[in-house]
Homo-oligomer: A and B are copies of this chain.
Amino acid sequence: MAMKQENTEQLLKRIHSYIENLPYMREPEGLYEPIEYVLGLGGKRLRPMLMLLAYNLYKEDVERIFPQAAGIETYHNFTLLHDDLMDKADMRRNKPTVHKKWNENTAILSGDAMLILAYQFMMKDCPVECMKDVMDVFGRTALEVCEGQQWDMEFETRSDVTVDEYIGMIRLKTSVLLAGALKIGAVLGGASEKDAQLLYEFGIRMGLAFQLQDDYLDVYGDPDVFGKKIGGDILCNKKTFMLITAFAHAGEADRKELQAWIDATDFVPEEKIAAVVSIYDKVGIADLCRQKINGYYEEGLRLLDEVSVASSLKENLREFVCALMDRKL
């Protein structure tokens, strides 16, 4: 008998509602209210969805792992909470961040509690035979995300970041959590070790493609569609793949101009963005970046192909990831 898979939109609705109705609330309110606030800000529930879709390659009863799906989302939102505090970001999803709405100590302590809650969810009703594997993947992933954030902060004050270092950083900061979500879903679904690892590596490639595309859209995106202001990374001199590659490929004069814009402390934002983009264009950064994105994207799909379940069963996962990357299959 063919396995019944859940419709993706239906699944998203269910996990949304599960997360929104979690009984986080207990005393003291001052600790738990900010947690409810952060988890109520919405978001795409990308990581829970990846976990559920991976599980659904092997098993039907997706609701069985809703706690783990909520756990990965709680962890993700914990990182946003603490990252926003460290970056002194005032807004997240058009709402004030926790340290703005409450204060810094609340952001620290409620974040800590969220990390612990993430572990609680991850363990909740977790079958004994999977627990060690699930917790191993989750723990290692959680630590790597912290390492990624640390590299990211260190890169801000360095001028010699290489492309490999940048890729390594976004791998830790972004990809491993997507990959970990997929792997945990697979492990809980009873996948073979080989399949679980293939799904993990698929997630790594998709995470890299996804982050590089995010960087790309920061420069070349349609601001109405992208949802953020264009050029934000340029203004704060973020060492993205594009900036690093522009430095490596630009001629002497352009490199000097690029450096001057980076060092400038007093400038008209629009002028800086226009000047940097014009150097990007001369070097052909857009193409180089798209090639890089495509490379990871296609490598990812090839890895997914290797997963040993019927291709038709992978359709939902494939479509979900393509939609994320805004691609037609």
Contacts and interface: CB of A to CB of B under 8 A. Distances in A.
Interface of A: 27-28, 30-31, 82, 85-86, 105, 108-109, 111-113, 115-117, 119-120, 123, 128, 131-132, 135-136, 139, 142-143, 146-147, 149-151, 153-154
The 3 closest A-B pairs by CB, nearest first: A31-B150, A113-B146, A86-B105
28 contacts: A27-B147, A28-B150, A28-B151, A30-B153, A31-B146, A31-B147, A82-B108, A82-B112, A86-B105, A86-B109, A105-B153, A109-B146, A109-B150, A112-B112, A112-B115, A112-B146, A113-B147, A115-B116, A116-B139, A116-B143, A116-B146, A119-B139, A120-B139, A120-B143, A123-B136, A128-B128, A131-B131, A131-B132
B123 A135 contact: yes
A256 B172 CA distance: 59
A139 B143 CA distance: 17
A142 B154 CA distance: 30
A106 to B, nearest CB: 8
A153 B150 CA distance: 28
Contacts of A109: 82, 86, 146, 149-150, 153
